[in-house]
Amino acid sequence: MGRIIRWLLVVIILSGIGYAIYYYSLPEPIKVMLVKVEKGAVENSVANTRAGTINACRRTKLSPSIGGQISILPVKEGQRVKKDDLLIELWNKDLIAELNHTKNEVNAAKSRATAACLQADVSEREANRIRELKKIGAASEEQTDRAVTQAKALQADCDAAKASALMSESRIKVVEANLERTRLYAPFDGVIAEVTGELNEYLTPSPPGIPTPPAVDLIDDTCFYVTAPIDEVDAPKVQTGLTARITLDAFRGRSFPGVVSRIAPYVMDREKQARTVDVDVRFRDAEVINEMLAGYSADVEIILDSRADTLRIPTEALLDGKRVFVYEESDRVIREKIIEKGIANWAYTEVISGLTEGDNVVVNVDVAGVKDGAAAEIIKEEE
């Protein structure tokens, strides 16, 4: 009897040791984060590869077409101006003096033309009188020819004086055009972004092929749009009129609805390994324009397709475009499942088949040890 008890004790001890060895040799459960499969909105979208920029619909960098010394500078940076307001005027007293001189010449030429034409009228009347006298024999042929010739000569002088007056008037237009080249006017309503130059400084126009800073940078701040580079692979999917979502670093937590208004007809290859196509997106809500500034960095997400209420999972939970891991609470293990996916973006992927609403899928699939049948321990369950 004692021997049996001793053997039982030995068996129990050995069994305990064996179980302990087995228990402690089991792999450590992997720690997983879960999210429930749910219904919601999924969008298929493309986004810019690098930061885009807020641009004004109209922005012009102006400089006088000739060089000269700044004599009038009535504007400053940040000032609002109206169309045709004077922005800069160069020293032009010589042209103003020339214009006044030319106007005086025109007046003198018109006076000479008036005098010449009056003499021509008198001579014409005299020639007519002598013609009548000739008819009754009171004037000779020679007198008549001389009177008619003189009338024609004086009429020619009249015509020449009128032509000279017209030439003087055209000279006024030439001087006025040269005078206009010394003045810079606003082509549209806007705000002055930058002024290069100060009073009495000398402005030099850009030589051919050598750009120089503009004298005035004028922005129309009533209309803005976003220009953003889209990867050349995604560009064929984008069409004008598609809905877009605009986000800006300056307005974190907010997004602005937009619409694609232009797709560049060529590929930018400034970065040889990342060729892109520029896409313009205008703001759909005109009221937000008042909050924008030209030059803000912006990102755009262009919506290619959308599902309003469909089964979805986080895109980060998907492997190889078709595999997910589902946590089985009864066994505390994860099981691999193959799914059929629909549209997707960086946040969510639509599930056509393979999962049901309420399933718990693993989102940290990059953790070591994730495989079919692996023991798992929940460290976080996302809503």
The third-level CATH classification (topology) of the domain covering 26-42+308-382 is 2.40.420
Query: Would 26-42+308-382 and 64-89+183-218 be classified into the same CATH topology?
Result: no
What the block records as the tokens of 327 is 């946590």
Q: What is the pLDDT of residue 383?
A: 46
SS3 content of the chain, % helix, strand, coil (to 5): 30, 35, 30
Q: How far is CA 148 from CA 128, 143, 306, 329, 364, in A?
A: 8, 9, 95, 126, 113
pLDDT at 318: 92
> Residue 66 contacts by C-beta under 8 Å, 6 or more apart in sequence?
90, 181, 182, 205
Count of positions (residues) in the chain: 383
Q: What is the DSSP pairing of strand 202-203 with strand 80-81?
A: unpaired
Determine how many CB atoms are found less than 10 A away from the CB of residue 184.
25
The two tokens of residue 51 are 């930061």
Every domain of the chain and the residues it spans = 26-42+308-382, 47-57+222-307, 64-89+183-218, 93-180
Of 92, 98, 100, 94, nearest to 64 (Cα)? 92
For the domain made up of 64-89+183-218, give the CATH fold: OB fold (Dihydrolipoamide Acetyltransferase, E2P) (2.40.50)
Helix axes 93-135, 141-180, angle to 10 degrees: 160
Question: pLDDT in tens for each of the 383 residues of the chain?
Answer: 566 666 666 667 666 666 555 445 546 788 888 999 999 999 888 999 889 999 999 999 988 888 899 999 999 999 999 999 999 999 999 999 999 998 998 898 888 888 889 998 988 888 888 888 878 877 788 888 888 888 888 889 888 888 888 888 888 899 999 999 999 999 999 999 999 888 988 888 776 667 778 899 999 999 999 999 999 999 999 999 999 999 999 998 899 999 999 999 999 876 666 789 999 999 999 889 889 999 999 999 999 999 989 999 999 999 988 999 999 988 889 899 999 999 988 889 999 999 999 999 999 888 888 888 888 888 865 54
DSSP string, 151-188: HHHHHHHHHHHHHHHHHHHHHHHHHHHHHHTTEEE-SS
pLDDT of residue 73: 94
Q: Are the C-beta atoms of 110 and 104 separated by less than 8 Å?
A: no
Radius of gyration of the chain (CA): 45
Which residue type occupies 353? S
Residue 237 is predicted with a pLDDT of: 92
Topology (CATH) of 47-57+222-307: Elongation Factor Tu (Ef-tu); domain 3 (2.40.30)
**What pLDDT sits at residue 93?**
93
